[in-house]
Each structure stands twice: as C-alpha cells, then as structure tokens.
Amino acid sequence: MPDAVVGRHIVVSRGDVVALRESDFTIPPGSITAVIGPNGSGKSTLLHAIAGLLPISSGALSVLGATPRLSQSEIAYVLQYSTPTAGTPITVEETVLMGRYPSMGLLRRPSSRDRDRVRQAMERLDITHLAHRHLTELSGGQRQRVYVAQGIAQDHTLLLLDEPLTGLDITSAKTIDSIIHDEPEHGCSVILTTHDLEEAQAADHVILTGGRVIASGPPSQVLTSQNLAEAYGLGALHDRDDSAPMLPTEHHDHSHDQGHDRGF
C-alpha cells in the first residue's frame, strides 16, 4: 500500500512569511500520525498544506498518490472547535449533514445513503440525542463531537484533526479518542496536531516540528531528548514555551503511571 502522504523538500509560506522551512517526511497509510511541536512551529501550516488549503512554495507534496488539491474529495478536515455565530439557526443534524454536501450535488437533496451516513456518524459520536438542538445550545465538548461527526460523515480516506482534544471534557475526549483509533480499522489514515507528549507517544507515527520537520518516524525514534530540545529550545524548555512537553526520562516504566491507558 502506498504512503498516505509524502513531502520532499517542501517549503510553505503564509504571505511573505515562511511558516515551514524545507522539510522531508513520510506518513504511512492506515495509521495514526501525531504532529507535535511548540506554538508557531508549523503544525497547523503542515495540516493546511496536506488539506490543499495552503499551497507549498517549493518542493513536492503527494497526498494519497496525487496533489493535495486533487485529493481533497478524499480528505475530511476537522478544525479546532469554535463558538458558532450567535443567532445562527443550525441544528446538530444539519451540521453533520453538511459533511455530505460534496457528494449530494447542486440541489443538495440527501439520499437514503446520505441520511444513513449522518445517522451512523452521530451514533459513533454519541450525539443522536442532540440532533435537533442548535449549536449555540451546546457545550464546547459537544460541539467538537458534532464537528468530528461532520468529518467522518464525509466520504474520506484521510482524516485531519487540528488539536481535537484540547480543552475538552473527559466524556467528549474519550469519545473522540475512540473515533481516532477506530478510523484506521475502516481503512482511513488519521493525522492530528497536538501539544500533548502522551498523545504523540500513543500514535503510530510522529512528526516533530520546530519551524521545519525536525524528525518523522515512530514515537521512540522521534521523541528523543535531543530532538525535543531542538524543537523547543535548549535549556529550561518551560521557561521558553508553555506548550513544551516534559522531556522523556530514560528507562522510565509508565505501566504504573496514573492514566497510563490513555490513548488520544
């Protein structure tokens, strides 16, 4: 099976500013890939480039065997949750149904298959009971579950999630975590950004950013003290960046840590 994403010498700019310097990386298919790094290190920029929302300035980027733009119909992108505009009369079910728009045609008349996909997505995110509630009536965690349901309702081979668990209640985090781990079993690859070292360690593959891709590979090879120090700066990391993870210690047994069974 070909790699899900391959970047070779890619440079990505936002306006006149280079947001991601020349980088190489490979993302394996049917896997969970975590993109971790400090604030402003290029995590979201990389996700936007893969989604085809931000063009690369140079290099070559292959997504699902084609250019990002040509692969957009196979990509579901869930942004960080945001508060909906007050007075927007859109229900949970209508929001999830929007994930089916790319396959519904100009008239946007949902077929029985469209409605089945919406129902299944809502069941998986445990939001069926919220179907007729307005987004403005929901908590932040509930809204994030709605947006993830919208993403998985879409036909996709690649699921992109921008910090999907940040600031969520435990129930919502566990529910979305289960989706992240279920997606590869449905033949989909998942790429998520995170500030959490434990989330990155639980992934199949990790990309570490620090203005460029510093390392890409299995967590044990990427999340080393040397690589993390390069990404977050030498010395007392937390004095420089509040998002910096604690450096891993050698030969530490996590099996007895509280919450050791946490996934994403």
pLDDT of residue 1: 75
Q: Which domains does the chain have, with CATH numbers?
A: 5-237 (3.40.50.300)
More confident of the two residues 210 and 260: 210
Q: Using one digit for the tens of pLDDT, what is the confidence trace for 60-87?
A: 999 999 999 999 999 999 987 666 666 6
Whole-angstrom Cα distance, residue 157 to residue 74? Answer: 5
pLDDT attached to residue 104:
77
β pairing state of 5-14 and 158-162: unpaired
- What pLDDT is attached to residue 82? 65
Give the separation between CA 90 and CA 107, rounded to whole angstroms. 19
At 135-177, the pLDDT tens digits run: 989 999 999 999 999 999 999 999 999 999 988 999 999 999 9
Round to whole Å and give the CA distance between 229 and 231: 5
Could you tell me if 97 and 120 are in contact, meaning their C-beta atoms sit under 8 angstroms apart? no
pLDDT band for 40, please (50, 70, 90 cuts): very high
Q: How far is CA 24 from CA 59, 130, 222, in A?
A: 9, 43, 14
| Least confidently predicted of 79-88, 113-122, 255-264 | 255-264
Q: What is the mean pLDDT of the chain?
A: 88
